[in-house]
Amino acid sequence: MKQYLPRERFKTALEHREPDRVPIDLGGFQSGITVIAYDKLKKKLEIPGETKLSERNQQLAEIDESFLIKFGIDTRYVFSKPSANGVLKEREDQHSISYVDEWGTRWEKPYSSFYYDPTEFPLASASIDDLKNYLWPNPNEASKFTGIEEEAIRKQNNGFAVCTTVSGVFEQCWYLTGLERILIEIIENPKFVEALMDKVLEIELSLYSNLLDKIGKNIDMIELWEDISTQKGPLVSPRLYRKIIKPRTKTLVQAIKSKTNAKIALHSCGSVSWAIDDLIDIGIEVLNPVQVSAENMDTKILKNKYGNILSFWGGIDTQRVLPRGTVQEVEDEVKKRIDDLAPGGGYLLAPVHNIQPDVPPENIIAALETCLKYGIY
């Protein structure tokens, strides 16, 4: 059988054709490894050197190229950068360390915690009029894109599928108001939510246009993170989703599509089966993370219903199997997802979400090695 290069394998699978084996993703902001888990993995594999952060809030590790090669990882990531001109308002006390991002949201990590979470929301009490005077981030700042084009070209020329991740409109909005407020206001004061979403959309349209001017020709998949569900069902009512959130997400997706031929993926944790037809309607081509522990997310059913038009990315359970399962259970999990999702192409194997500190290195190795052996077409 023909041996595919990683990028060719990735593109073939996401075009709903079968390459030589199932492609594997690892290292994104929703498919990464936390520093603690990665340090244990490096010790197990005797990988030398200090671990670097790739993402601050989730405390994700920058994965060594030697590891990515060893386990056949087909993807490589590039990301836009924080503003070089922004003032990072860091604060440290006896309980925690925190900082304010360029949107004005404070992210805080207690010393007892593994992560940073949003704790202070600049628009928590804002009115529509306040939005006009708010100090919004500058989407045209060149420092956000320094070196990204060269990095994307280099990784693509090395034969890898190049991916990036960007924020959706709704998720960025609740980082500004707090989730509780936006869930209340979308019912009681929808005009405020629509005004806020329109402003965030305006900024993101410019920001992603500038990003894709740099890497649009050298990118293979763009992931839009936009959580719209809980593990039981919709985060907001489907009616309000379709009236307020969906049209703005569609505008963003169509603008991205006008600047690149990359596949467009949407990341939403939880039970998203209720929204899959909507996601297809707005132009989403890849669904992530396929949270198999959530309700109505049976991989066989999803593949049978949507496998001809939608690709699936993720699916390896991070809620129970990877952290607490045996090696045999991990192997069985990988085989099940390949059996359910891989026939005919359309599957990119990855953990459901970032690999957490309590995941044993043996289970990470077992998942990847099983895919390399069992995922051959």
For the chain, helix, strand, coil in percent to 5 are 45, 15, 40
- Please tell me the distance from the alpha carbon of residue 131 to that of residue 75, in angstroms, as a whole number: 39
Q: Is the pLDDT of residue 183 over 70?
A: yes
- Report whether 78 contacts 216 (CB < 8 A): no
Nearest-5° Cα angle at 323, 112 to 46 = 85
Look at residue 313 in the predicted model and tell me its pLDDT.
98
- Please tell me the distance from the alpha carbon of residue 155 to that of residue 117, in angstroms, as a whole number: 31
Q: How confident is the model at residue 161 (pLDDT cuts 50, 70, 90)?
A: very high
Q: Is the pLDDT of residue 370 over 60?
A: yes
SS3 102: coil
Look at residue 99 in the predicted model and tell me its pLDDT.
93
**Chain segment 102-156, per-residue pLDDT in tens:** 999 999 999 999 999 999 999 999 999 999 999 999 999 999 999 999 999 999 9
Look at residue 88 in the predicted model and tell me its pLDDT.
67
Q: Is the pLDDT of residue 351 over 70?
A: yes
Kindly report the average pLDDT of the chain as a whole number. 96
- Cis before residue 360, ω within 30 degrees of 0? no
CATH number of the domain located at residue range(s) 78-82+127-288 in this protein: 3.20.20.210
Look at residue 82 in the predicted model and tell me its pLDDT.
81
Of all residues in the chain, the percent with pLDDT exceeding 90 is 95
CA distances from 234 to 82, 253, 312, 316 (A): 31, 21, 20, 22
- Report whether 89 contacts 100 (CB < 8 A): yes
- Please tell me the distance from the alpha carbon of residue 306 to that of residue 310, in angstroms, as a whole number: 6
- Please tell me the distance from the alpha carbon of residue 57 to that of residue 48, in angstroms, as a whole number: 25
Helix axes 246-257, 169-177, angle to 10 degrees: 130
Please state the domain extents for the chain.
1-76+291-377, 78-82+127-288
Closest C-alpha to 347, from 334, 330, 328: 334
pTM of the model: 0.96
**Chain segment 2-42, per-residue pLDDT in tens:** 899 999 999 999 999 999 999 999 999 999 999 999 999 99
Q: Is the pLDDT of residue 87 over 60?
A: no
- Average pLDDT over every residue of 319-335: 98
Look at residue 167 in the predicted model and tell me its pLDDT.
95
- Report whether 294 contacts 231 (CB < 8 A): yes
**Chain segment 45-75, per-residue pLDDT in tens:** 999 999 999 999 999 999 999 999 999 999 9
Look at residue 255 in the predicted model and tell me its pLDDT.
98
**Chain segment 257-316, per-residue pLDDT in tens:** 999 999 999 999 999 999 999 999 999 999 999 999 999 999 999 999 999 999 999 999
